[in-house]
């Protein structure tokens, strides 16, 4: 029983550290391979998504001061509507 607890006390922090290190390495690799560099503002932002069916989703994307409504399906993306960005109080 003591051996089991000792292994648990040693291995649990080791596994947590490995998981944390893997996440950090993946973030750096993503930034290096063309992701958004750290400290850079994103130009496109997903505001909201709604599932209509298992194969169809609606999404509102904010891009350059506009909100764009798109549908996402297995066939691809389709732009449905576009409007100026609304302020928080509207």
For 4, 13, 15, 63, 77, the CA distances from 7, given in Å and listed in that order, are 5, 10, 12, 51, 51
- Per-residue pLDDT of 34-62, as tens digits, reads 655 556 667 888 889 999 999 999 999 99
- pTM, two decimals, is 0.52
Torsion of CA 53, 55, 56, 62, to 10 degrees: 120
Residue whose token pair is 């290190």: 21
For 28, 29, 33, 34, 35, the CA distances from 38, given in Å and listed in that order, are 9, 12, 13, 11, 9
2 against 18, higher pLDDT: 18
């Amino acid at each position: 029983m003591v051996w089991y607890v000792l292994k648990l006390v040693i291995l649990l922090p080791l596994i947590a550290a490995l998981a944390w290190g893997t996440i950090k390495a993946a973030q750096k690799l993503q930034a290096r391979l063309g992701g958004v560099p750290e400290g850079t503002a994103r130009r496109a932002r997903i505001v909201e998504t709604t599932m209509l069916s298992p194969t169809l989703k609606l999404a509102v994307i904010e891009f350059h001061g506009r909100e764009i409504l798109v549908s996402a399906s297995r066939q691809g993306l389709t732009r449905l509507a576009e409007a100026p960005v609304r302020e928080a109080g509207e």
